[in-house]
Structure formats: structure tokens, C-alpha cells
Structure 1
Amino acid sequence: MTDDVPAPDLRAADADREKVAEILRDALAEGRLDMEEFEERLDATYKARTYGELAPITRDLPGAGTAPVPAVSLTKDPARGGGWADRIVGGDDPGTSSWAVAVMSGFQRKGRWTAPRRFNCFAFWGGGEIDLREANFADREIVINAVAIMGGVEVIVPPGVEVVVRGVGIMGGFDHREEGVPAEPGAPRVVVTGLAFWGGVGVERKLPRAERQRLREERRREKLERKEERRRQHLDRADRHRREVEAPRPLHDPLNLHSPHRRPAPRPEDD
């Protein structure tokens, strides 16, 4: 066995099963599989626990004489970029922006930017949004110092980030709902502090836009699959009904006149 082929009894990950499921969906769309075959193989995919169980599911795709479908890699590739280690830039990076002010107006920090070790913001009769879902971090711990006076500041963090809230509210308040959620290994800590006077500082955890789009696409595909399944069941019922209607029916014979086993009545001269 070469290094490129994993042991058949090696445990498969969710990502491996999703690769196989994606190939099956493409094969269904291209007409390589009918709905019944697709359902059987998809069910086997999500039940598979090892590479040995996954490998045969797409072995015959595509058929002879067709363009090749990319093979499913069953080897563990090195971790690609995009993890927390790549997003914590460290060093002397001061961050893309270190402060923001909104006076009867608003501000936003969102998209791909570098959150500094300390970000100061002030909102007076206005509001601000600090979105960290796609941001890099200047350090493993950053502090957002928010002062909201008759205004509000919203802090949006991605899943996996630890949140600590230390702000003070006077006829206002800080949102503590995201505290206590365990952090992912290597994820940064976001400390939210400051003052809210007749205002509020909210903290909300949301999925990144790309992840939300992926989940929407999965739900859309599942909806299409359920719709196709209902259509197939309807066609099956219609086909069974058609066969029942077209099947020959026995002749209505309440007196059993046409029975091949009916004996003829005896004639008087036979007595």
C-alpha cells in the first residue's frame, strides 16, 4: 500500500463524507444515477465510518467513455490557511483601525480588517457596529472599549471566540449572553468593556457570511431532494394505479354460469 492510499479501517471524517455526497449529487444532476441509486448511495455515505466503506460508493463514477470526475481524496491533507493561527497576526501590527466616533451618526468596522489590541469607540445619539467575523486579530486577546451615551454599539463575533464583558451600565447596559461559551483551541479572546449611559452595548455571535451561504445551499439541496422524493413517490403511486386499472378483471358471474367446473344439469332422458 502506497502512502497515498489510507488504511481501509482508518476512520473517515465528516468532510470526507461530504466530498462523496457532492460527487453523488453531481452524478444525479448529470443523469449518471437515477433517484433510487442516488438515495441508496447517499444513505450508505452518511452511514460510512471508515475509508474502506466510503471508497466503493463512487468507484464506478463516471461510466466508460465520459469525462472523468475528480477522484475523492481519502488522504489527510495538511491543514490549509484560514484557521485561528493565520488570523492572529501578532507582532507589532497596530491594527487597521484603533478608534471610531459616532455623534448623531454611525460607524462600521466590518469585512476584512485587523482588529487592534485595543479598539476605542464612542457613540452619542448614534450607533456603531464592530464586526469581527472576517477580521484578523493583532493579538490573542483584544479589548473593545465602548462608550455609548444615548446610543448603542453592536459587537459581532464569530463562533469559537471567547467573550468577556466587563462594562458598566447606568440606565443602560451591556449584553452578557455570549459569556461562558467555550472557546475553540487557538481562538482569540474578545474583552468588551466601557460605559453605557442611557444606551447599550450588545454582543452577538453570528456565522461568517460564507458559512451562512454554505448552510443555505445545503438546505436548498435538501429541499430539492425531498421534493424529488415526493415526486418519485407520486409517480410510483400513479404507476401502481395504472397497472391496477389496466389489469384484466374476472367476469361478473354471480350464478357461476361460466365456471369451467360447473357440471351440466341432467336431462330427463338420462334417468
Structure 2
Amino acid sequence: MSEPPAVPDPREMRVSNADREHVAQVLNDAMAEGRLTVEELEERLDKVYAAKVFRDLEPLVRDLPVGGQAPQLPVPAAASPAPVASARIGGRGTSSAAVAVMSGAVRKGMWTVPPTFTSFAFWGGVQIDLTDARFEDPETTIQAYALMGGVEIFVPDDIVVQVNGVGFMGAFDNKVENQSQPRPGAPIVKVNGLAFWGGVEVKRRKRKKEKRQIEE
């Protein structure tokens, strides 16, 4: 899983007009106290209003005590990492298996997937749809077994998928392409198992909300 983006240095963050006015006031007070000449004040104010990041403001007040203490620049707190995508994680698993023997089995809609889920299809078909599912744990393992049958697994775009199944006289087909930099905290789904004279297929399906946004 990709590391979260690096936290930027606060001194490299952009300054606002209010930040510039704060430093300008410090300089004006210093001139009134006789610490700066008018020429020095004008020279520093030019640099204040041309400043783009907090690093540009630091040398302009570094030698100017205010009230007997060093002046305090309005340096912002370090930027927080991207919020963890935890909306899908939590709750107790509502179903731990899907078995289809000469029949069919479906798990879809609003349901909670346990840490390990087993699917077994023998002369039948199993469909597992994770589009609107929640996950009990951040990492989930789906064991998919297809013996002369088929297992279809649908996953949405906000889930990281790792497929490691084996096809023997059958197909264990991974049609999922993960994001190069998945969102920190995204659920991880590992699909393992065996396809023997049958097929297991893992593919993407957009969530209904995403479909509506595309259509609009």
C-alpha cells in the first residue's frame, strides 16, 4: 500500500494578506521605537508585500525584539495528512460464506464483509458484489473456489484489490487495475482460491453515486 503524501514544511506554505499586515505592523512598531530608519522600514515593507511564503518573512523581523521578546510570526500548523477513508470500515460481518451447488448464490447490496469470506461454486454460480458493502476490518480475504462453476466478484473504485488465485484447466481472471496512489486508509481486499474446470472473475463496478455524477 502506498505511503501517505509527505507533510509540507510550514515555512514553505503561502502567506495571506493578513499575515503580511501582521509583519508590517511589527516593522512599523520597530521604526516608532527607533530600531529602524525610515529607509530601512520602506525597504523591508517592499519585501513584506512581495513575500509569497513564510520563509520570505522570517529574515525581515529576525533582528527585531517586540516588547523585549522576539516577534512571533503567524506560522501555520503543519498540514494534516489526507483524511483516512474509514467510512467503509466497521461493524460486524453479516455473512461469512456463499455456496452454490447446482444452484446460484448472491451477496450484494448493503452488507458487511467479515475478515475472511469463503465462496464455493460447484456446477453453479456465485456473485459477490462489494459495491455498497462495508468491511469489518481494514483488510479482507475472499477465498474463491470454482469447480465446474463460476464466481464473479465486483469491486468499486475506492477499494484496493490483490488477486492471487490459481486457475487449473480453468481461469482465475483479474480485470482490476488498482490506482497508482490509492487513498490512505482504503479497504484492502485479497482474493485467493482455485478455479478448476471453472472460472473466477474479479472486475470493477462503479458505485451508484459515482454513476449519477458521471451522468450529470
Report the TM-score when normalising by structure 1: 0.47
Q: Which amino acid aligns with 1:110?
A: K
User: Contact 1:163–1:181 (CA<8 Å) still a contact in 2?
Assistant: no
- Counterpart CA distance in 2 for 1:179 and 1:194 is 19
User: Contact 2:143–2:191 (CA<8 Å) still a contact in 1?
Assistant: yes
Bigger helix share: 1
The number of aligned residues is 134
**Match of residue 89 from structure 2:** 88
Percent identity between the two aligned chains: 54
**Match of residue 211 from structure 1:** 210
Pick one of 153, 156, 172 that aligns with 2:154.
Answer: 156
User: Contact 1:143–1:190 (CA<8 Å) still a contact in 2?
Assistant: yes
User: Contact 2:88–2:187 (CA<8 Å) still a contact in 1?
Assistant: no
Cα-to-partner distance string for 1:109-163 (whole Å, 9 max, x where unaligned): 1111001100011101111111111111011110000110111111111102111
**Residue 201 (structure 1) aligned with residue 200 (structure 2):** yes
Q: How does 1:95-106 map to 2 (within 5 A)?
A: 95-106=93-104
- Counterpart CA distance in 2 for 1:180 and 1:136 is 19
CA RMSD of aligned residues (A): 1.9
Flag as ranges the 4+ runs of structure 1 deviating above 6 A.
none
User: Contact 2:157–2:204 (CA<8 Å) still a contact in 1?
Assistant: yes
Instruction: Give the secondary structure class of the aligned counterpart of 1:215.
Output: helix
Report the TM-score when normalising by structure 2: 0.58
Cα-to-partner distance string for 1:233-268 (whole Å, 9 max, x where unaligned): xxxxxxxxxxxxxxxxxxxxxxxxxxxxxxxxxxxx
Quick check: which has more Rg, 1 or 2?
1
Cα-to-partner distance string for 1:42-76 (whole Å, 9 max, x where unaligned): xxxxxxxxxxxxxxxxxxxxxxxxxxxxxxxxxxx
Tell me how far 1:214 sits from its aligned partner: 3.1
**Match of residue 190 from structure 2:** 191
- Counterpart CA distance in 2 for 1:135 and 1:163 is 14
Bigger strand share: 2
Instruction: Give the secondary structure class of the aligned counterpart of 1:175.
Output: strand
**Match of residue 128 from structure 1:** 126
User: Contact 2:131–2:205 (CA<8 Å) still a contact in 1?
Assistant: yes
Instruction: Give the secondary structure class of the aligned counterpart of 2:214.
Output: helix
Cα-to-partner distance string for 1:7-66 (whole Å, 9 max, x where unaligned): 89xxxxxxxxxxxxxxxxxxxxxxxxxxxxxxxxxxxxxxxxxxxxxxxxxxxxxxxxxx
Where do 5+ consecutive residues of structure 2 fail to align? 1-15, 18-83
